[in-house]
Amino acid sequence: MVYFILAIVLFAILTFYRVMKGPSVPDRVAAMNAIGVMFLLVLVLLSLYFDRKVFLDVALVYGVFLFVNVLIMAKYFTKPEKGEVGD
């Protein structure tokens, strides 16, 4: 069980490379979305591992905030100046 959790955290760190490297804003937002879902899965697995059933609420609220976060970031990032966009 512990190895599964560590593996998911390792994948999240691998995805974090795209957040640092990503040539444009939508790349970073997509990678952030993926990292958020992975940590939601880690939260559910941890709450089953420590046998604290009430901590599932934390995962639920985390999912709702992730969705609203992506919506707001996609709404209010505007077009950049010339020469800033790669790819």
The answer to whether the CB of 6 falls within 8 A of the CB of 40 is no
Task: For the CB of residue 40, give the shortest distance to another protein in the complex, in Å.
Answer: 8
Closest to 14 (Cα-Cα) out of 28, 1, 37, 31? 31
Q: What is the token pair recorded at 77?
A: 């990032």
Angle (nearest 5°) at CA 63 between 61 and 65: 70
Residues 25-84 that bind another protein (CB under 8 A): 25-27, 29-31, 33-34, 37-38, 40-41, 44-45, 48, 53-61, 63-68, 70-72, 74-80
Task: For the CB of residue 83, give the shortest distance to another protein in the complex, in Å.
Answer: 13
Binding site for another protein (CB under 8 A): 4, 7-8, 11-12, 14-15, 17-18, 24-27, 29-31, 33-34, 37-38, 40-41, 44-45, 48, 53-61, 63-68, 70-72, 74-80, 85, 87
